[in-house]
Structures are given as C-alpha cells and as structure tokens.
Structure 1
Amino acid sequence: MAELGRVLVVDDSAVIRQLISVNLELEGFEVFTAVDGLDCLERVLEVDPQVITLDVIMPRLDGLRTAARLRSDPRTAHVKIVIITACAQDTEVQRGFEIGVDAYLTKPFDPAELIRTVRELAGVGNP
C-alpha cells in the first residue's frame, strides 16, 4: 500500500496515541507520535507532517496553545490540525477555530470519522 502522507499524533495518553496511530497506519499513513505540545513543536520540523492530531489537555503545553504556535510559525502554518479531545464545550471549539484548527473530533471518537477527516485534510481521496 502506498504511503498516503505523514501524521504527527500528539496526546499525553499512550493508549490514545496507540489507538489513533494504529487506525491511521492501517489506512496507509506514516505515523509519528509526540507526548505533549512541547514534544510536538520539537518534532514537527523533522517529521514534516501533512496533518497533526492534537489533544487539548496535556502537560507542559496544551493543544490549543500548541496549535497557536504552529499557526504563528511560517514553517508550520500550512500543516493541517485536527483537535481530538474530550473537551467539547462550545467555547473550546470556537477558540480552536479562531486559532486556525482545521477540524475538531471529540473523544471517544469514531475511527471511521478520524480516517475520513485525516484523509480529507491530507488531500487524499477515499479508496
């Protein structure tokens, strides 16, 4: 199966990172992981992903502040961002879109919806 693109999965939960990674790898994406926002910012330039999935609540640097930093850096401003979080309050969602997040999925997420969203943002058609 041809590689569909690179995805950087950022979540402080090893279980969630693994769940997202397996779903995307089975679909043909090359997946890299980071444990929090600072780890994401350290890895993003070396990984050069098309899409980043971000949890909101993480130690050291949360997902929305990470998204804001990614958007403010010309080297990463183009990367598509999917927030995957249990924090689905309207104010959080609105803040995410104001920062420039491309999509918002709530935990527990539907794996098919995750794959559809990442494929769309990566510019890959459905099989």
Structure 2
Amino acid sequence: MLVVDDDEVIRQLIAVNLTLEGFEVETAYDGQDCLDRVRDVAPDVITLDVMMPRMDGWETATRLRQDPDTQHIKVMLITARAQEDDRRRGYDIGVHAYLTKPFDPAELIQTVRDLVGSPRPL
C-alpha cells in the first residue's frame, strides 16, 4: 500500500487503520513524491488525495494509468471533493474506487480489501 496525502494527520490516520488490518503501508506527501517512490514500493493499491501541492491527484492518477509499469496498480481517490463531476472525472481517468472525506475507517478497510481481492471477514 502507498498512502498519498499532503495532510500529515490524514495520511497517518489512513496508514494506521490499514496497518492495524495487516497491510504493509508506505506513505508519500504528494503526487510527485508518489511517482518518485512507486517503483521502489511496488504497491498493490495507492490511496490518493486530490488536492495536493506540486502534483495533484488527478495528474498523478493519469500518469499512473499511462505508465505500463504502474497501470496495473489499483488507485483509490480519498478526497473532500464530493461532487458527481469529480467522481466521474476520477473514474474516467481510471481510478478503481472513490471515497469522500470524512470517511468511515471501516469503509476504507473494506474498499481496500475489495481492491486487493481479499475476502470479507465473517
């Protein structure tokens, strides 16, 4: 997992929730940091904020989809942008899931499990 958000509190909240569920988690500050680290981390899933400095989530997701080395990685946008146009834009880019802030940690965990193909807990 690679958690990308410029807000340290949110980045750590996501990372802690995923770590407690057994996921190996690395973090990145913004889209450029994500692209700089993605090959070393080799994540199955990237959680990606939209509004970040240097490179926003839209551009980051677009670049991930365009690169043959990263296009297979599941991308989940986690953002305060809750308009239907924003969701559509994300899905048009090729993201796999869209979660709005504030989010329910249980929904975050279940969405990540669904993306990696893990079974739902009994």
Q: Which TM class, normalised by the smaller chain length? A: over 0.9
Deviation at 1:125, TM superposition (A): 1.2
Tell me which amino acid in the other structure corresponds to 2:119.
G
Work out the percentage of aligned pairs sharing the same amino acid: 67
- Aligned mates of 1:122, 1:42 — CA distance in 2: 23
Determine helix, strand or coil for the equivalent of 1:77. Answer: coil
Q: Alignment partner of 1:87: what SS? A: coil
Match of 2:31 in 1: 37
TM-score (norm. length: structure 1) = 0.94
Aligned match of 1:115: 109
Equivalent residue, structure 2, for 1:66: 60
Runs of 4+ residues over 6 Å off in structure 1: none
Q: Match for residue 3 of structure 1? A: none
Deviations 1:66-89 (A, max 9, x none): 000000000000000000000111
CA distance in 1, matches of 2:66, 2:112: 22
RMSD across aligned positions (CA): 0.6
Structure 2 counterpart of 1:33, one-letter code: T
- Corresponding position: 1:23 with 2:17: yes
Distance 1:74 1:8 in 2: 18
| TM-score normalised by length of structure 2 | 0.98
- Which residue of structure 2 aligns with residue 89 of structure 1? 83
What SS does structure 2 have at the residue aligned with 1:92?
helix
Which 5+ residue runs of structure 1 have no aligned equivalent? 1-6
Aligned positions, number: 121
Supply the distance in 2 between the matched residues of 1:50 and 1:43 (Cα, whole angstroms).
13
Instruction: Report the counterpart of residue 44 of structure 2 in structure 1.
Output: 50
Listed as ranges, the gaps of 5+ residues in structure 2 are: none
The separation in 2 between residues aligned to 1:47 and 1:111, in whole angstroms, is 23
